[in-house]
Amino acid sequence: MWMSNPLFSYNFAFHVSCDRLKEVNLLTLTMLFGRYINKYYLKYAFFFIVGVAALVIVDLAQLFVPKYLGDIVELLSSGAETIPNETRTQIISMIIGTVVVAAVMMVGRFLWRITIFHASFKIEAGLRKQMFEKAERLSQRYYHENKVGAIMAWFTNDIETIQEFFGWGTIMLVDAFFLSTLVIVQMFMIEPILALISVVPVLLIVLWGALGEKFWATRWEARQQTFDSLYDYSQETFTGISVIKAFVKETQQIHTFAELAKKDKEANIRFARMVVIFDTSIEIIIALISCIMIGFGGYFVYQAINSNPVVIFGHQIKLTAGKLVSFVGYFDLLIWPMIALGQIVSMRSRAKTSLKRISRFLDEPEEIKDKEDAINLKNVQGKITFKNFSFKYPGEKDHSLENISLEIQPGETVGVIGKIGSGKTTLVNSLLRLYNIEEGSIEIDDVDIMNIKMKSIRNSIAYVPQDNFLFSDTITNNIGFAEEKPTLDAVKQGAKFSDVDKDIISFKDGYDTVSGERGVTLSGGQKQRISIARAFVKNSPIMILDDSVSAVDVSTEETILKNVANERKGKTTIVVASRVSTVAHLDKIIVLNNGTLEAFGSPKELLKTSNTYKNMVYLQRLERELEGGEQHA
Q: Give the pLDDT confidence of 234-251 residue by residue, as tens digits.
A: 877 877 776 787 777 788
Q: How far is Cα 101 from Cα 538, in angstroms, rounded to an integer?
A: 64
What are the phi and psi torsion angles at 42 (to 5°)? -80, -40
Instruction: Identify the pLDDT of residue 106.
Output: 92
Q: Is residue 515 within 8 Å of 522, Cβ to Cβ?
A: yes
Q: Is residue 357 within 8 Å of 217, Cβ to Cβ?
A: no
Instruction: Identify the pLDDT of residue 628.
Output: 59
pLDDT averaged per 10 residues, the chain (length 633): 36 38 44 84 92 91 85 70 72 86 91 92 92 86 77 84 89 84 86 79 67 68 78 76 75 86 86 79 79 82 78 75 84 79 76 87 86 88 93 83 92 90 89 88 92 90 86 87 85 90 88 76 83 91 88 84 89 89 88 90 88 83 63 39
Q: How far is Cα 385 from Cα 410, in angstroms, rounded to an integer?
A: 11
- Burial class (CB within 10 angstroms; exposed 0-12, middle 13-18, buried 19+) of 7: exposed
Q: Is residue 352 within 8 Å of 32, Cβ to Cβ?
A: yes
Cα 99 to Cα 92, 143, 432, 469: the distances in Å are 11, 60, 69, 63
Instruction: Identify the pLDDT of residue 18.
Output: 40
Q: Is residue 217 within 8 Å of 347, Cβ to Cβ?
A: no
Q: What is the fold of 2-361?
A: ABC transporter transmembrane region fold (1.20.1560)
Instruction: Identify the pLDDT of residue 199.
Output: 74
Q: Where are the alpha helices (DSSP H) in 77-158?
A: 85-137, 140-145, 148-153
Q: Is residue 407 within 8 Å of 448, Cβ to Cβ?
A: no
- What letter represents residue 315's amino acid? H
Assigned CATH class of 384-632: alpha beta
Q: How far is Cα 358 from Cα 37, in angstroms, rounded to an integer?
A: 11
Of the candidates 156, 142, 300, the residue with the CA atom closest to the CA atom of residue 230: 156
Give the Cβ contact number of residue 255 at 10 Å.
9
Instruction: Identify the pLDDT of residue 81.
Output: 59
SS3 letters for 565-576?
HHHCCCCEEEEE
Give the Cβ contact number of residue 130 at 10 Å.
16
Instruction: Identify the pLDDT of residue 82.
Output: 64
Per-domain boundaries in the chain: 2-361, 384-632
Instruction: Identify the pLDDT of residue 408.
Output: 93
Which pTM does this prediction carry? 0.68
Q: What angle do CA 359, 365, 366 make, to 5 degrees?
A: 120
**In this prediction, what percent of the chain has a pLDDT beyond 70?**
88
DSSP string, 436-503: ---TTSEEETTEEGGGB-HHHHHHTEEEE-SS----SSBHHHHHTTTSSS--HHHHHHHHHHTT-HHH
Q: Is residue 48 within 8 Å of 119, Cβ to Cβ?
A: yes
In terms of DSSP bridges, do strands 572-576 and 542-546 run parallel, antiparallel, or are they unpaired? parallel
Q: Taking the CA atoms of 507, 513, 514 and 518 in sequence, report the sign of the dihedral they define.
A: positive
User: Hey, which residues does 317 pair with through a beta bridge?
Assistant: 310
Of the candidates 357, 138, 143, the residue with the CA atom closest to the CA atom of residue 235: 143
- Burial class (CB within 10 angstroms; exposed 0-12, middle 13-18, buried 19+) of 283: middle
